Amino acid sequence: MTLKLSVYQDLTRGRIRVTAEPGSWTAKNC
């Protein structure tokens, strides 16, 4: 569970990065 953690960390910064699963994680604007 490292890739997912990385994605979550990016989300907290205000940026959404798709590295773990491009199918499940889509580019969303928060």
pLDDT of residue 8: 72
Report d(CA 30, CA 2) in Å as an integer. 22
pLDDT score for 20: 57
pLDDT at 4: 72
Q: How many residues does the chain have?
A: 30
Q: How confident is the model at residue 30, as a pLDDT?
A: 47
Tokens of 18: 């798709």
Tens of pLDDT, residues 1-30: 566 777 777 667 766 555 555 555 555 554
Q: 25 near 7, Cβ under 8 Å?
A: yes
Taking the complete model, does pTM exceed 0.75, yes or no?
Answer: no
Quote the pLDDT of residue 18: 55
